[in-house]
Amino acid sequence: MKYMIMLYGSQRDFDAMATGGPEVAEMHAFMEKWNNDLIESGEFVDAKGLSAPVHARRISLKGGVPVVTDGPYPETQEVLVGYTIVETASFDRATEIAARLADTPGPEGEGQYVDVRPIMEHFDDMVE
């Protein structure tokens, strides 16, 4: 089964990474090794990073009319910053892979976390 591992961060994290420095290089090296380990194990499917929250747009519907709000959003602390898709034998294995991200070096922020969710291949895969 395929699982999406979603990484979260904040605009502050992006700002800290933009300054560079040894911690950013260390973080990139860690993520490169993490991805390469998944490629070698045959569990890697895809991975992408997203641009900074300042480049996001949120679209909502108000009175039947789409309303576009440019980011970042002051009411939101964490945003999706990237994802990795893995194909593993179990949810426990996908969780084990995601847990390795707890040691990711880089800008330290409060409440850093990752989510792991099964990917539905078909509507019938929906689990309550």
User: Tell me: the pLDDT tens digits for 68-95?
Assistant: 988 766 666 778 889 999 999 999 999 9
| Structure tokens, 110 | 């409060």
3 within 8 A of 115, measured Cβ to Cβ: no
* Assigned domain for 51 exists: yes
Q: Is the pLDDT of residue 128 over 70?
A: no
Average pLDDT over residues 89-114: 81
Q: What are phi and psi of 28, to 5 degrees?
A: -65, -40
* Assigned domain for 126 exists: no
Q: Is the pLDDT of residue 97 over 70?
A: yes
* Assigned domain for 22 exists: yes
* Assigned domain for 70 exists: yes
pLDDT, tens digit (0-9, with 9 covering 90-100), for 21-73: 788 888 889 999 999 999 999 999 999 999 888 888 889 899 999 999 887 66
pLDDT the model gives residue 91: 96
Query: What's the domain range around 86?
Result: 2-120
Domains: count for the chain: 1
Confidence band (pLDDT; 50, 70, 90) for 110? very low
* Assigned domain for 95 exists: yes
DSSP 42: T
pTM for the full model?
Answer: 0.82
* Assigned domain for 125 exists: no
CATH number for the domain including 35?
3.30.70.1060
Q: How many angstroms separate the Cα of 64 from the Cα of each of 15, 59, 67, 68, 70?
A: 36, 12, 9, 13, 19
Q: How many angstroms separate the Cα of 21 from the Cα of each of 83, 101, 110?
A: 23, 20, 20
83 within 8 A of 64, measured Cβ to Cβ: no
Q: Is the pLDDT of residue 5 over 90?
A: yes
- Look at residues 33, 71, 79, 42 and name the one whose alpha carbon lies nearest to residue 54: 71
Q: Is the pLDDT of residue 127 over 60?
A: no
DSSP 49: E
Coil, strand or helix at 100 = helix
